[in-house]
Structure 1
Amino acid sequence: MLLTTKFLRPTADPRAVKRDRLSALLVPDHQRRLNLVIAPAGFGKTTLVAQWCAQNTSPTAWLSLDEHDDEPRRFWQYVVGAFEHAGLPGAGDLRKSLARQTDDDFIDTVTGLVNTLASDGSPWTLVLDDFHYVGQAELLRQFSYFLDYLPPGVLVTLASRTEPQLPLARWRVRRWVQDIHPGLLAFSEEECRQFFEGTMGLTISSDDARAICRKTEGWVAAMQLSALSGHGSAPEGHQISVDERHISDYVLTEVLDQQPPELADFLLETACCPRLCASLCDEVRESGNSQEMLERLLGQNLFLIPLDTRNEWFRYHDLFRDALLLRIQQTQPERAATLWQNTIHWLLAHGHVQEAIAQIVRREDWPWLSEVLARHGNNLIHSGFHLPVLDWLDALPQNLVTDNPQLQMLKIWGLFFANRLDSLEPLLGALEDLLDRRVADSHPDAEGALGLQSEISLMRSYLARTRSDDKSASDLTRQVLREIDHTRIPLKSVTYYGLGLDYFGKGELVEAEDALRSAVRYGQVEHKPSTVLSSGGLLAWILYNRGDIDLALETCLEIRQWVDRHYSDPSQPRLISCWQNSTLCEIYRERDNPKLAASHLQPLLEHVERGTEPGQHVVIQYVRGHLAFSEGRLDEAIEILKDAAYVGRKRRDQIVFEPPASAALLARCYLANDQPEKARACLESWSDTRFTNPLNLEQYQLAEARVLLAHAQAQEALELLERLMKPAEESGHNRHLVEILLVYGEALGLLERREESEQVLSRALGLAAEAGFVRLLAEESTNLRARLLALPALNTPGRWNDRVRSLLQESLLQGSRPAAPLTETSDPVRSTSSPESAERRTEALPEPLSQRELEVLALIHEGHANKEIATRMAVAPATVKAHIRNLYGKLGVGRRTEALARARELGLLPT
């Protein structure tokens, strides 16, 4: 049962100062999704939001959070309950569905809430008061997903004592966020006077109000301290000189001078800590009573902000901490330096490496930074933090990097993970020269130099893969494996991942699975979340495409849980793997859950938009096209798969594995769209392709058999399928075996061999039921779906039989297209197609322009610079550069003027 009082908006206090200038900032606009009201206790956050809600005419759901709500199930129950209490149609059904849910994955619930809001269409407002109680990493990720896909017009307002660990930087770039921080909450002179007279009940003159407001810079907590201390006005001659980040000397004096000496010393000694806990404070102060001191500060609510609900971690209010730091640096500079060093040593010893580095960078201690990066940088890079590491390396004086082999290797890995491959070869050559000199000169670290040679070989193996030099890649990888046990560098996970890629590229899937399992195992030992995720994702992709759908899903979930336990910084983007998310999308699509499939596809689309490496581009577009095909969006699926096939062929030499057979799936789309000639032409254009991956070969030949049936060539199809059946069966390719049997049974039926056809189709149904395939059966031809429905094997009781029968019956009502899903489609992944006229005009191009590229072209035509285009489109400048690069490539030009001229020739721009 939910506590309904949590849904009640506080009644506005008639004595409270009216903040009309701030209420105006909270008013919705067409682009905003989030109001963020952040300030410590006593800044009037709740009062401000309540005042604004009283004026707001939109339907509003209010939820006051508490320390018990930092748990996903309870949180979403209350959020949905708040909407239900406020009258959102459908919220009650959603809450009941959530109550019956037995697993811990609430993305489906969040998607349901988004779709419910979209269906209602009203400009809803959701207020979450005291959001600082929400700190669980997984819950914050779910909330990020919720906000990412809010329908237009829906606005969320968060009131919190701390800035939540959400992807706020990305949202701010998109202009989704209205920030109201302590600086904006600062009172004006008139509000200051109203506060003292109306709220505090003190009669003061306008001059006194002006003086206090100036001295406190409008900080209501400081004004309250002034009022409670009995000072109606500031002491004579007391001058304040602070910038926007520092609290006034007057307020700092009022706080510190009124504290007992031991408490004042504690405040000053711990100001160097970015966060506080008793263990850290004891280490820094070289004392043992920090827990007691923290409890005293917490009891006085003295600018100490809890970071969890267990009262273990805290931080000072930023303005207060800055003032403390300024005071101790001015009065005790040597003591301040010692405290700072103690803080960093504790952070490093307890695994808070990034916080420690931030403190080192702040003090510009470059020798220490170089030591820390040499020791911890490799793990940071393989945990997904390659871009910050590159930034830190760039901050170092050049000589510290060029004279340090570990830092040079670190830079090479960082550039590799950032996909900046062109600059690696000269860096590798320079590093090898340095290592050779060290070995020749018997340098003290000569042993370490020999160890780095293995890393260089491993890097060269990855570069060889990007050049499709499979032999060199394989030879180098095996060389590293022979040397790896004699080095101190944890390389086994990355090496086995490379080996798995080699086997996968050659189509040796069993060997690939073994290597990838080793990569996962060693990656967990070496604490390399990024490698574990990539290796486990590719392993799951192979398992799914072989037909082991349950094992693939189990692998994905186990890997995800391990990564989330070891990579739990919700302020950073969530680590994702193209392989794993694509596999999960395929699994949930196959199980007829398109909403959940779409939720796993969505994070990948941004990579396609920004311009990812070609292999990932093909995989993502293939999966995206498959989902569109399953949902009956055939025209959209065809365009997506044409793009996948084009990129897979044009950039084949840059892809380290054989990409999925997009042409085979494209041919199926043409067949479903009643275009058998286009299906045949599509496959004929790929007839010269040599497949090394047996799964891709089987898929292509299955598509050939379907095209033969569509052209009434059943005997030819039968002969082709007979050649396919035994290898698929021997290799355990169960998914393709089911498809082979289905199409084989259809061919037998067309040849009037009905008894044999029924036996083959019944066997296919048995294998499909055992594996849990659902969509696979509903995507075959109309004739075959009708044949399946008539089979006695499908008309026996059973949950799987009932589900498949319903899906097939639904499909036959829709004609030749694949059956629509039994569950609602998730809108977020539906692509925004270009207008039909633009599509016709770009037919002359080898690859049509995307909608975003057309937008960039129009803004170039208007004369905007790249930075202006980024601002207009609410994207990063790097994204604009990627669009322009793709635009030039498709138009076959090298400059803006050429692009505009070519676009006018094609009719994309007015002449």
Structure 2
Amino acid sequence: MKPLPLIATKFFPLPSPGKQLKRQGLISRMEEGLAARHPLILISAPAGYGKSTLVAEWRESTQRTITWLSLDDSDNEPSRFLVYLIAALQNADKSIGMELMTMLEANQLPPRETIIALLTEDLLASRNSLVCVLDDFQVIQDPNVLDILQDLIVHPLPLQFAIVTREDPALPLGRLRANDRLTEIRALDLRFTKEETAAFFREVMNIPLTERDLSLLLERTEGWVAGLQLAGLSMQGGKDPSEVIASLSGNNRHILSYLTEEVLKQQETSVQEFLLYTSILSKFNADLCNAVTQRSDSAVLLEAMLASNLFLIPLDDEGFWYRYHHLFAELLFSYLLRSQPGLLKELHHRAAEWFESQSMPAEAIDHALAARDFARAATLLEINTWTLLNQGYVRRIEAWMQSLPVEWRTQSPRTNLSFAWMYLLRGNFIKVVPHLQEAETALENAPEADDLRAECHALRANLLQSQGEIPAAIENAKEAIKIVSPGNVRLLGLANLGLGAGYRQAVQFDLAVNALQQAIRFSRESGDSVTGALAATHLILMSLQHGRLNLAEAVSSQMIELMECIGEAVPPIIGAIYGALGLVYYERNQIEQARDHYLRGIH
């Protein structure tokens, strides 16, 4: 299994806008909290209060070692969260989390105590005192992720967190507050004062306000940064500031919705369309915008929008990827939904096509489902489920599955089989059966689908042997091998794994050896190291049970050599193979060699 491909833009803090109002008082509070060794700096406020902008400004002014991680819904899962957290920490110190990352890349999540112990050891050994910014933390709701983060916060480590969030996280804030270990910056702190509002309009927006207009604007917006910025944009182009301010009424969302429409009206028609059409995208670059809007000058337009402070946020230092301010994007999308609802399907269709062409299947699936293009979504899932599982998308795969109408799930046996394998590998046997049955039902009237039928049998063989139903497991494995295409080596490996495991439990040694060796051979040809390791483990332990030490040693040595030479993340199951080889040496009274292999297995 290859190391997981990471989305580079998640590690880039938001570059500060060209024009901004310095908020030195808040920056000083953050520095004081860090100097007091507070493990957590919490910046918590609703959308539009300038949280991320403040932290990005602080990052540029501090002398501390800062590492950054922007979170999204996909990170609300322990394995994926840890992969990105470790990668963020490694941007500051490459030695942190190397051993834990190897486990995660092999699709293995260690127990929480092991995770904390490994990270603690690496952090204490590091010479750097780090601050890790977690932006958009409100997406993290998984209790296991929160427990891991809580352990890192409450332990005395050379690691402090700055959490940027729209809502308070489920962390022990009361305990931290009572023990003077928490610095908090909230909406009340982030609101612009009268002096800051005056300076913002004078220095950033180049619109001087009268004392009366300033007081009324502050009263209507309550110092809400997004509202002030949009108010300034709506005043540009010669509009009377007093008229704009007098028109403001209602709550913050009403004000922002009104101002968004006012800002749109000032743009050329082509720019209005660009803003609305691209509001369906959570992130974008010029090429993607060209595909969605069907224009060719998106790069120039993005540069102009950035210079105009039009709520466009760069996601990398090169200015390649962008996103809109979240609340601005929501309001643009709401406006699009009201004004051109019939266009949504086509826009999502164009986005899905582009992401698919760029080998970005997760984003392509999201947009295909939004376009109700269930054929494309099902095909993408069929092709990419195994890859996405190894990248930590387990929750999203389940969510995608629920988004597919029932008729598409039953019409797509390949999709059902992908979900069934996912649940089998996770040991959730109860959820395997419905998907397997749906796949089998869909194949009843499909005469040219022998490989899919073979996969159903291979899946059922592995499920049944795990549940101790040995004769049925062997029968299904044989049927899979009988009807599968000779060139489908991945499926031949899985079928022989089920067959060999069944023969092992049936105490048919020679038959089990042959099937498991076949599984290992086919797994090598297909690059499926997990199936190969599982087959090897069965074969080694069975050989030891029957006193066949030479065979156990040969298989162990071959698998270890193979896994260590392919240059990929080694599955932790290799520990069992080291342990088995250690037992071989122990039985031969080669104690030092046995000790060495046991220690490697434990490691």
Tell whether the structures are fold-level matches, with TM greater than 0.5: yes
Matched, 1:372 2:377: yes
| Pairing partner for 1:235 from 237, 244, 265 | 244
Q: Deviations over 1:675-716 (max 9, x none)?
A: xxxxxxxxxxxxxxxxxxxx6xxxxxxxxxxxxxxxxxxxxx
Matched, 1:63 2:59: no
In structure 2, give the amino acid aligned to 1:16: R
Q: Distance in 2 between matches of 1:344 and 1:193?
A: 46
Matched, 1:332 2:340: yes
User: Quick check: 2:50–2:226 contact (8 Å CA) kept in 1?
Assistant: no
Deviation, 1:380, is 1.4
Counterpart for residue 586 of structure 2: 739
Counterpart for residue 302 of structure 2: 294
Q: Distance in 2 between matches of 1:42 and 1:255?
A: 23
User: Quick check: 1:556–1:584 contact (8 Å CA) kept in 2?
Assistant: no
In the TM superposition, 1:57-136 aligns within 5 A as 62-64=64-66, 76=90, 78=92, 114-115=120-121, 126-128=130-132
- Mean Cα deviation higher: 456-465 or 332-341: 332-341
Distance verdict in 2 for CA 1:369–1:272, change over 3 Å: same
In structure 2, give the amino acid aligned to 1:45: V
| Secondary structure of the structure 1 residue equivalent to 2:589 | helix
| Pairing partner for 2:315 from 307, 316, 324 | 307
User: Quick check: 2:130–2:160 contact (8 Å CA) kept in 1?
Assistant: yes
Q: Deviations over 1:480-531 (max 9, x none)?
A: 1232218999734533543564577666568635522422432x4xxxxxx5
Matched, 1:512 2:513: no
Distance verdict in 2 for CA 1:301–1:192, change over 3 Å: same
Distance verdict in 2 for CA 1:153–1:33, change over 3 Å: farther
In the TM superposition, 1:268-667 aligns within 5 A as 268-300=276-308, 302-362=310-370, 365=372, 368-369=373-374, 372-373=377-378, 376-377=381-382, 379-380=384-385, 383-384=388-389, 385=393, 387-402=395-410, 409=417, 412-413=420-421, 415-417=423-425, 419-422=427-430, 432=440, 435-436=443-444, 438=445, 445-448=446-449, 450-485=450-485, 491-492=491-492, 494-499=494-499, 501-502=501-502, 512-522=516-526, 524=527, 532-536=529-533, 539=536, 546=553, 555-556=562-563, 561=568, 580-584=571-575
In the TM superposition, 1:803-842 aligns within 5 A as none
Deviation, 1:461, is 0.9
CA RMSD after TM alignment: 5.9
Distance verdict in 2 for CA 1:127–1:326, change over 3 Å: same
Q: Deviations over 1:642-682 (max 9, x none)?
A: xxxxxxxxxxxxxxxxxxxxxxxxxxxxxxxxxxxxxxxxx
User: Quick check: 2:27–2:54 contact (8 Å CA) kept in 1?
Assistant: no
Which segments of 5 or more consecutive residues in structure 2 lack a partner in the other structure?
1-19, 70-83, 105-113, 137-146, 177-184, 203-207, 542-551
Counterpart for residue 8 of structure 2: none
Deviation, 1:343, is 1.6
- Mean Cα deviation higher: 398-407 or 341-350: 398-407
In structure 2, give the amino acid aligned to 1:226: G
Counterpart for residue 195 of structure 1: 196
Q: Distance in 2 between matches of 1:738 and 1:465?
A: 30
Counterpart for residue 223 of structure 1: 229
Counterpart for residue 53 of structure 2: 43
In the TM superposition, 1:127-276 aligns within 5 A as 127-128=131-132, 152-154=155-157, 156-158=160-162, 191-197=192-198, 205=211, 208-212=214-218, 214-215=220-221, 218-219=224-225, 222-223=228-229, 226=232, 229=236, 235=244, 238-239=247-248, 248-253=256-261, 255-276=263-284
Query: Which is higher, the Rg of structure 1 or of structure 2?
Result: 1
User: Quick check: 1:451–1:489 contact (8 Å CA) kept in 2?
Assistant: no
| Secondary structure of the structure 2 residue equivalent to 1:271 | helix
| Secondary structure of the structure 2 residue equivalent to 1:270 | helix
Counterpart for residue 5 of structure 2: none
Q: Distance in 1 between matches of 2:122 and 2:190?
A: 45
| Secondary structure of the structure 2 residue equivalent to 1:329 | helix
Distance verdict in 2 for CA 1:174–1:218, change over 3 Å: closer
Distance verdict in 2 for CA 1:306–1:355, change over 3 Å: same
Q: Deviations over 1:330-385 (max 9, x none)?
A: 3333344422322223234444333233335556x3xx336622552464157425
User: Quick check: 1:196–1:203 contact (8 Å CA) kept in 2?
Assistant: no
Structure with the larger RCO, 1 or 2 (CA within 8 Å, 6+ apart) = 2
| Secondary structure of the structure 1 residue equivalent to 2:468 | coil
Deviation, 1:43, is 3.0
Distance verdict in 2 for CA 1:504–1:401, change over 3 Å: same
Q: Distance in 1 between matches of 2:25 and 2:38?
A: 27
User: Quick check: 1:193–1:206 contact (8 Å CA) kept in 2?
Assistant: no
| Secondary structure of the structure 1 residue equivalent to 2:53 | coil
| Secondary structure of the structure 2 residue equivalent to 1:287 | coil
Counterpart for residue 894 of structure 1: none
User: Quick check: 2:286–2:299 contact (8 Å CA) kept in 1?
Assistant: yes
Q: Distance in 2 between matches of 1:106 and 1:431?
A: 32
In structure 1, give the amino acid aligned to 2:197: F
| Secondary structure of the structure 2 residue equivalent to 1:211 | helix
User: Quick check: 2:492–2:519 contact (8 Å CA) kept in 1?
Assistant: no
Q: Distance in 1 between matches of 2:38 and 2:499?
A: 47
In structure 1, give the amino acid aligned to 2:574: T
In the TM superposition, 1:863-882 aligns within 5 A as none
Q: Distance in 2 between matches of 1:371 and 1:332?
A: 24
Counterpart for residue 805 of structure 1: none
Deviation, 1:28, is 12
In structure 2, give the amino acid aligned to 1:535: G
Deviation, 1:218, is 0.5
Which segments of 5 or more consecutive residues in structure 1 lack a partner in the other structure?
1-12, 54-60, 81-93, 133-143, 179-183, 439-444, 525-530, 564-576, 588-622, 624-694, 696-732, 744-763, 780-820, 827-911
Q: Distance in 2 between matches of 1:42 and 1:187?
A: 16
What percentage of aligned pairs have identical amino acids? 16
Deviation, 1:742, is 3.1
User: Quick check: 1:517–1:539 contact (8 Å CA) kept in 2?
Assistant: no
Deviation, 1:532, is 4.0
Deviation, 1:465, is 0.5
Distance verdict in 2 for CA 1:255–1:434, change over 3 Å: closer
In structure 2, give the amino acid aligned to 1:376: L
Q: Distance in 2 between matches of 1:425 and 1:147?
A: 37
